[in-house]
Structure 1
């Protein structure tokens, strides 16, 4: 995790006894430009770097090179870097960062492009919370320029009648509420009779009859269509939606099991803590917070199996063809039917390679004649459950 994600502000709770999570804020600073006169913005320009937390130092970069660093006498949250009249030597892409203490820095701020007389760099257009519209959801397009106090213009492709205008006298961005699908761009002007800037890159907004389905997985951050559990074993099902602030529902066999909201580090997902008692197909869905909002379609199902015996055997596949040249690595893929914690590659009954996490690949490094022979693999779903051995695969090593 980067330094910018290590500032703890508060604690949040997710559904379930083991689902508490820390919420972090990004301390990356904000950078914008202020002009002495918006009619002649390049005649006198100042770059303003604003920190999210009080800091002991500000650093300014131009085209990737540090060009200024200041140390306020006391903790400050803002610093102004005067550029004056913009000459060719001052044109470029600027960013700033702030000290966090103990020699560490925040990540770099948003970029601000400084051009010259007669030109205005294109703004950036983004969507929030998602790039689609549906009943019960307010979708917003955010247009951001590098210059403070300009007027923003929003257009929809193919619709000459559509033009939304927003003034931002004390800001460098404007928000537009979007109700219809289409391809949108934005631009800005510095004064009423000024020439607009180049348009932003387009943002496509889709029209959806209902929100897209969420994703359900066994465990946190692991995609799996099935898992084998021992009776009474504790596990979690993680349901992830494409946006924050929704109500989640866990279902088994089409019937509701549990529901709830998520807060904390990841407000777009929830972990349903469970104890393995009932096998079957589980799905999840969500709905928006507006009253009367419809449920999304169900996620793809996850199958939970209960077993005290061996797991189904995997399939081992060589990722090479023919004979392996001496000195090369030999990779094999252990394809398993259910989620796994670890993989093991065996030769003559002995484990010769292992792997942990979601990867299915096992590697024999720097192969020599001694590696020739037959190999099988197995996986462990959750200790102590272990699978049967796969069918063997033969490794042949070429002559040196």
Structure 2
């Protein structure tokens, strides 16, 4: 049996950070394989790197190591790297970069392309557009992609006999399949109609919803005095219409947006009928689609500062709690039947920490495991639960601080044993608190894999396309908006092995 060239595009989307006012433009080039003949693709192969804009500089990497770097005489959009016949010497995982070599500036890495010389052809990549579910009014698609141009794609749904759909020859290396039924889907490809199908892709599960799943509603900027709120509603779809609700009432409030999948609601006290919680929902603009399910309710508290300030005390007494200790903050008002809120200010940022509605005149806020991350100026206020919803001035603030570093995070390798050269090495850093910035370090020096995660207390830090030069001991730490940073995690050793070079 003749040896097939195995080419696999490890397909993924590039997402930019969601920063206010920023427009993310991907500079990722594209890499694909062009065989002289699809009947014998292994006989003479060329790898083509296409830049996101014209350039004179191209770089080809294999298994995380630069193999060839060229500078052409005038700017072009693509460059062809002849690979020739696939042998043990040129098998591996390829990527490319473009840029300005004389300035030492290169783009992000292209998609990855695997050349192995084995049969059957390995699996293609598969992903969903725009989401992994179907609902009335939404056109969901499956995108199947491989690094070999001119192939035929085949779509299968689990439980069906044969292939569900066959695409025409894909000149650009991908096919888009519309999805109308839920199920588990995978795709394969052929180099020619009589050829043996490749290994199937990973399985993608498509769910069906009568109404779209709920968005997330959270606090935006907290202003003082709290007579209005900025709330942010985030949904899974672009081109959506959003609605802020209190019960069944649609709150017609001013709004703004910097991204098509979210909206900021600017809510004032006079927009509210009472102090009840609010929710948000969305629907597609393109059709008469159904509204999504409501978000989790978000409770609000208002303060016009017309009532006497409460008294805030701390237990145990003192402004420097022991690291790791439980701190209680007691907010005392002149009457019962109120809603109490605890705020923290550090470096000019106000955070609403808790809202309580005790039956008496006191609210006790618990802060377990107090650390340097909790340092700041604390205050509380209260508000009536009935009209006219008057609120108090804030209490006198209490400054609480802990010296030293925050508790160390935990670093976990998401691989076992050694990592083959050219693959991604992913490490998961878990902090004991949310809303921090994570940093990855190698042998004590920071590497460019910093991720800010504003919701979760953990994140995955990826080292893409590693080579033997990435071998070393890695650790992580986190930092916060009030300039604290944590201790380093326990180290994790990364060993990268170039299996192609070792003959395996």
TM range (shorter): 0.7 to 0.9
Q: Structure 2 length as normaliser, TM-score?
A: 0.59
Which residue of 1 is the match for residue 281 of structure 2?
A: 285
Work out whether 1:157 is the aligned partner of 2:158: yes
Which residue of 1 is the match for residue 345 of structure 2?
A: 342
**Cα distance in 1, alignment partners of residues 134 and 148 from structure 2:** 30
Work out whether 1:245 is the aligned partner of 2:217: no
Cα distance 1:301–1:193, how it changes in 2: closer, same or farther (>3 A)? same
**Cα distance in 1, alignment partners of residues 276 and 186 from structure 2:** 47
Q: 8 Å contact 1:149–1:167 — kept in the other structure? A: no
Cα distance 1:311–1:105, how it changes in 2: closer, same or farther (>3 A)? farther
Work out whether 1:106 is the aligned partner of 2:100: no
Query: Shift of the alpha carbon at 1:230?
Result: 2.3
Query: Shift of the alpha carbon at 1:72?
Result: 2.2
Gaps of 5+ in 1: 7-18, 221-226, 318-328, 345-353, 366-374, 391-400
Query: Shift of the alpha carbon at 1:81?
Result: 0.9
**Structure 1 stretch 21-30 or stretch 60-69: which is displaced more?**
21-30
Q: 8 Å contact 1:249–1:284 — kept in the other structure? A: yes
Secondary structure of 1:183's counterpart equals: strand
Q: 8 Å contact 1:141–1:178 — kept in the other structure? A: yes
Secondary structure of 2:89's counterpart equals: helix
Work out whether 1:258 is the aligned partner of 2:252: yes
Return the match for 2:225 from 219, 226, 230: 230
Query: Shift of the alpha carbon at 1:300?
Result: 1.1
Q: Structure 1 length as normaliser, TM-score?
A: 0.73
**Cα distance in 2, alignment partners of residues 100 and 376 from structure 1:** 45
Query: Shift of the alpha carbon at 1:119?
Result: 3.7
Work out whether 1:203 is the aligned partner of 2:204: yes
Cα distance 1:263–1:282, how it changes in 2: closer, same or farther (>3 A)? closer
Query: Shift of the alpha carbon at 1:330?
Result: 2.7
Which residue of 1 is the match for residue 38 of structure 2?
A: 38
Aligned residues: 341
Query: What's the Cα RMSD here?
Result: 4.0
Secondary structure of 1:171's counterpart equals: coil
Secondary structure of 1:302's counterpart equals: coil
Deviation per residue, 1:80-113 (Å, 9 max, x gap): 1110111111111111112168533221111111
**Cα distance in 2, alignment partners of residues 184 and 314 from structure 1:** 59
**Cα distance in 1, alignment partners of residues 256 and 220 from structure 2:** 16
Which residue of 2 is the match for residue 270 of structure 1?
A: 263
Deviation per residue, 1:54-87 (Å, 9 max, x gap): 2231111111111111122222221111101111
Which residue of 2 is the match for residue 300 of structure 1?
A: 296
**Structure 1 stretch 111-120 or stretch 203-212: which is displaced more?**
111-120
Q: 8 Å contact 2:27–2:107 — kept in the other structure? A: yes
Which residue of 1 is the match for residue 187 of structure 2?
A: 186
Secondary structure of 2:24's counterpart equals: strand
Secondary structure of 1:154's counterpart equals: strand
**Cα distance in 1, alignment partners of residues 150 and 313 from structure 2:** 62
Which residue of 2 is the match for residue 63 of structure 1?
A: 63
Secondary structure of 1:160's counterpart equals: coil
Q: 8 Å contact 1:230–1:276 — kept in the other structure? A: no
Q: 8 Å contact 1:4–1:107 — kept in the other structure? A: no
**Structure 1 stretch 242-251 or stretch 195-204: which is displaced more?**
242-251
**Cα distance in 2, alignment partners of residues 38 and 117 from structure 1:** 15
